[in-house]
Amino acid sequence: MGRKGKYLFIFLLIFLIYSGTFAYAAETYNIDGKNISYNYPPINILIDGVKQNPNMKPLMIDNHVFVPVRFISEKMGAQIGYDSTKVWITYNGDKIVLYFYKDTAYVNDKPVKLDSSVKLVNYGYTYVPLRFISEAFKNNVNWDENTNTVYIDSKTGTDTQIASAKLSDQSSNTTQTSQSNLNNTSTNQNTQDTSVKPYTVDSIGFTNMNDARSVIILTQDSNYNISKSPNKDAIFVDLNNAVLKNGVYGFALDDKVVKGVIPTQLIPNTVRVIITLNSDADYSVAQQDGKLIVNIQPIITTLPSSLMVNADVVNIRTGPGTQYDIITQVNNGDILSVIDKSGDWYKVKLQNGVVGWIAGWLTIAYNNPNQIASDTSDNLSDRRTLTAGGSQSSRGNIGQALTSLPYAGKGVWYSIYSTMPTANDLSRFVNARVTHIYLEVATSKAGFPDKWKKWLDDLLPAAHRAGIKVIAWLYTDLKDTTYDASLTAQVANYVTPNGYRVDGIAADIEELPQKDPVTAAKMVEDYATQTLKNLPAGMPFIAITYPPQYRPNYPYATMAKYFDAIALMDYWHVSSANYTYDDAKNFVSDSIKKVQFLAGNIVNIEVILHGYDDGYGLPSVDELKGALDASKDAVGYSIYTWNTLNDELKDVFANY
C-alpha cells in the first residue's frame, strides 16, 4: 500500500452495538441504514503477531476490509475526540478530521479525498477502510486472502500493498451515507454470569391492529433493559441472559411509525433487539406466556404549515434520512409546505409541486400569511408572517434563491442619488452572500420616470442571474394615498422588455403626523389596502420607516397588519458623540424589541444599518460590527447605502 506522507485515516461517532465472534453463516447487518445479508468468512487481525478480538468483527464491504475505528486507532496509540458534526484524531502530532457524511477528510487542514466512505454498522458502530488506517499510522499492512487475515506491523512503517479482496455475491451494496449517528445509552452491558444457562430468542414478530403496534419477542428471558436512542429514531431492547437462535433475522416494515427490527448478539449472553423508528414514539412493555411484548405509541406532534430553508443548499430526498436518494435541492429562504413528519425529517411540497423529505434541523418554522381577501371585501386579512417564535435569526444565511422573503438575509441599498451597481459590485455581492438589493425607482413627486425604469431593465436580469433578488422602493409622502397606491402598484407590476419583474415592493413611510397616531394609522391603512388590491399575487410588501427611538407614536401595529415586513431605518450615528460598539448594538437591538412590542405581535423585521455620512462622519468599524451583531434578532439586515461606504466598511459588511 502506497504511503501518502502524513495521511490518513478516519473516525466516526460513538458506538452502541458490540458483538462477539460468530460462526461463518449468513447474518443480518444494518449498514448505512439498510439491512443486508452478510456471509463473508471471518476476517482475522494480527497486530505485531498478536491476534486481536475487537468487540465488533471486521467486515468486507465494497471490496475493502473495514474495521472499527476506535478499536484499531486506540490499539495504535491514537486519541479520538468528537462533537455533533465531526470526529478528530490526533496521532504523532498530526490532526485528522472527518465530517459526518462527507467523503473528504482533512489532514492538518489539508483536504484528502477518500476511496470509500465511512460506514455505520448496526446503527452506530463506526467502520473505516483499513487502507486509510494503515496510511494514517504509517504501518506495514498485509492481506492474506487465503486465510482472510490482515497482518499489521506497527514497528516497521514500510510501504506495502493490501491485495484487493472480492465480495461474495450475497454481500451488500450500501449507500454512501447513514440516516443517523446514535449516542451511547445507559443500557446495562455488564458481563453475564456464564454459569447460568442462557435462554434463546426463538422468534421476533410485529403486529399492527387498529394502529396498536407491538413488537413480540418469543423468549423466556425476563432480565431485560429497554431504552430509546438520544435522537429518537430507535428503541433498544437488551435481553441480558439470552442467545439469538439461528434463523432469527431482522426485517423491514411498511409502517408509518416502525421502520424495522434488527436483532443482534450484543455480547455472548446478551441479545439486543433494535426497533428502528420512522417517527418519535413512546413504548410500554409487558411479559406474558413466554413473550416480551413491546407496545409502541406514536407521539403526535403539531406540524407547522410551512418551513423556511435555513442553510445554503439543502437536499430534498425520497425518504426521511440521508440514505435515501436526492430528488432535488432547495436554497436559503425557500418556503416549503409541510405534509408530514418522521423523526427529525419533514415531508414537504416545493413550489414547483415536487414532494420529498428535508432534514428538519436545516429549516425553521414559517407560518404563511393569510390570504388577502377579495377586492370587494372591506376587511383585509393580517399580512404578518410569523417566524419560529421570533427567536430564529438569519445571520445573512437566508434568501439566496429567487423565491419568497426577498427581505430575508443580507441586503444593500441604492437611492436615486446613487450610481447603479456595476458588474464588479454584483460579483462582490455574490461572494459576500448578499441576497437582495433595494433600488429606489419612484417618488410621490417624480413618479416612475423612464430613466428609473431603465435601471430595472439593466439590473434585474444581471441580479437574477447572480441569484440576487431586487426590491423596488419608492418614497411616499402619503398626501394622496390613492395616488401613492396607484404608483406603488405601477412599479410592482412593471415588467422589463426581457420579461423580468421585481421580487418585492417597499414604501418609504416617513411623513406621518407624530402627535396624531389615529390619523397616522388611518393614512397607512388607506394606502396599504388600496395598494394590496393591485399587487401581483404573492408579491411581498414592505414598509420602510423610522425606528421607535425616533418615532414612538408611529402606527407599527397597523404596518404589521398590512405589510409583510417592516424595515427600520436604524441610523444611530446622528451627532458628534463618540459612538461605540455597544452604542450601535444597543440601538439596533432596542429598535427590534420595541417594534415587536408596539406591533402587538411578532413581525418580520429588517434592520437598515447606518452607512452614510449625515454630517457627523461615517460610523466606525466597531460601530458597524456592533450593529451587525444586533441584527441576529431580525429576519434580514441591510445597509444604506453601499455607494457611501468606504472600503474598510465595505469589507466589514461583505465579510460578515
Per the structure, the complete domain to which residue 320 belongs is given by 306-366
Could you read off the pLDDT of 27-37 as tens digits, one per residue? 777 776 677 77
pLDDT confidence of residue 579: 95
174 and 205 in a single domain? The answer is no
Q: Which among 298, 317, 332 is the end of a domain?
A: 298
**Cα 533 to Cα 586: distance, rounded to the nearest angstrom:** 38
With respect to residue 68, please indicate whether it lies within any of the assigned structural domains. Answer: yes
466 and 567 in a single domain? The answer is yes
71 and 178 in a single domain? The answer is yes
With respect to residue 404, please indicate whether it lies within any of the assigned structural domains. Answer: no
Band (pLDDT 50/70/90 cuts) for residue 293 is: very high
What's the mean pLDDT in 577-597? 93
Could you read off the pLDDT of 514-546 as tens digits, one per residue? 889 899 999 999 999 999 999 998 889 999 999
In sequence order, the β-bridge partners of residue 203 are 218
623 and 487 in a single domain? The answer is yes
281 and 155 in a single domain? The answer is no
Could you read off the pLDDT of 226-245 as tens digits, one per residue? 988 766 778 989 999 999 88
pLDDT confidence of residue 69: 74
70 and 111 in a single domain? The answer is yes
CATH number for position 176: 3.30.457.10
Q: Which among 263, 278, 298 is the end of a domain?
A: 298
pLDDT confidence of residue 200: 94
Q: At what angle do helices 647-655 and 621-630 cross, to 10 degrees?
A: 30
257 and 337 in a single domain? The answer is no
Band (pLDDT 50/70/90 cuts) for residue 155 is: low
Closest CA to 476 of 530, 422, 518, 406: 530
214 and 154 in a single domain? The answer is no
Strands (E), 390-540: 409-414, 436-443, 469-476, 504-509
CA distances to 388, 446, 476, 549 from 523, rounded to whole Å, are: 31, 21, 11, 21
Whole-model pTM? 0.45
**Cα 22 to Cα 282: distance, rounded to the nearest angstrom:** 33
Cis previous bond, 641, omega within 30: yes
Exposure of 604 in the CB half-sphere (CA atoms within 13 A): 29
With respect to residue 389, please indicate whether it lies within any of the assigned structural domains. Answer: no
**Cα 628 to Cα 630: distance, rounded to the nearest angstrom:** 5
pLDDT confidence of residue 58: 87
Cell, residue 182: 446514535
pLDDT for residue 639 is more than 90: yes
pLDDT confidence of residue 369: 38
With respect to residue 595, please indicate whether it lies within any of the assigned structural domains. Answer: yes
3-state secondary structure of 636: strand
What domain count does the chain have? Answer: 4
CATH number for position 569: 3.20.20.80
Q: Which among 184, 208, 225 is the end of a domain?
A: 184
With respect to residue 377, please indicate whether it lies within any of the assigned structural domains. Answer: no
Band (pLDDT 50/70/90 cuts) for residue 21 is: very low
With respect to residue 193, please indicate whether it lies within any of the assigned structural domains. Answer: no
The pair phi, psi for residue 84, each rounded to 5°, is: -75, -10
In sequence order, the β-bridge partners of residue 206 are 215
Beta-sheet pairing, 409-414 with 636-640 = parallel
With respect to residue 477, please indicate whether it lies within any of the assigned structural domains. Answer: yes
The pair phi, psi for residue 95, each rounded to 5°, is: -120, 125
Closest CA to 338 of 320, 323, 324, 358: 358
CA distances to 200, 341, 370 from 303, rounded to whole Å, are: 43, 7, 17
What's the mean pLDDT in 343-353? 85
How many of the other CB atoms lie within 10 Å of CB of 587? 23
pLDDT for residue 625 is more than 50: yes
CATH number for position 248: 2.60.40.3500
pLDDT for residue 16 is more than 70: no
Residue 611 contacts residue 644 (beta carbons within 8 Å): yes
254 and 313 in a single domain? The answer is no
Beta-sheet pairing, 270-277 with 335-342 = unpaired
3-state secondary structure of 488: helix
Could you read off the pLDDT of 373-394 as tens digits, one per residue? 333 333 333 433 333 333 333 3
pLDDT confidence of residue 167: 28
329 and 466 in a single domain? The answer is no
CATH number for position 361: 2.30.30.40
Band (pLDDT 50/70/90 cuts) for residue 140 is: confident
429 and 570 in a single domain? The answer is yes
With respect to residue 465, please indicate whether it lies within any of the assigned structural domains. Answer: yes
pLDDT confidence of residue 33: 64
What's the mean pLDDT in 104-133? 74
CA distances to 138, 214, 399, 446 from 281, rounded to whole Å, are: 46, 12, 34, 63
Cell, residue 642: 453601499
* More confident of the two residues 151 and 74: 151
What's the mean pLDDT in 432-440? 94
280 and 316 in a single domain? The answer is no
